Amino acid sequence: MGRFTMREGEDITVPMAGIFGPKVMIINEMAGSGGDAMPWLFRKSGLGPLVGTRTWGGLVGHYTSPNDLIDGGGVATPNLAFYNLDGAWDVENRGVAPDIEVEMNPKLVRENHDPQLEKAVEVVLEQLRRSPVNLGKRPAHPDYQKK
């Protein structure tokens, strides 16, 4: 959003912590609960494409565990479900589909390749080529002595 220049050293980006530039999220069928929510929010926020396979669709959960058992175990019952702002139930039993579908090919994995990661890197590098990160250009220092 902006930068600070210092008397010495590199300029500082504001905000200081961030992932600037294009983003891609890798998803797969092993992701559920928060692994379903995060890609849904990533897409809804327009942060970038989802690469991989559909998440498993488990976005019903619980936020309390009132049934503690005397042996230290517990019983959890679902008491919350997700719906979107259009008034429709979402994600549960459906998952989040990728924008770019890439299956994990067992042969490639045995050969030390990760097809999903490789595709995600290809996509983000292409985005970066088309839209490089703009870190601005430091202006000339102001001259307050001018009249």
**HEC letters along 44-71:** HCCCCCEEECCCCCCCEECCCCCEECCC
Domain covering 24-130 assigned CATH 3.90.226.10 in the classification: yes
Sequence ranges of the domains in the chain: 24-130
- Whole-model pTM: value is 0.79
- pLDDT band of residue 66 (cuts 50, 70, 90) is low
The pLDDT assigned to 115 comes to: 96
Of 15, 65, 25, the C-alpha closest to 47 is 25
Average pLDDT, integer, range 7-28: 89
100-132 pLDDT, tens digit per residue, is 999 999 999 999 999 999 999 999 999 999 999
State the amino acid at position 81 in one-letter form: A
Q: Rounded distance, CA 99 to CA 112, Å? A: 24
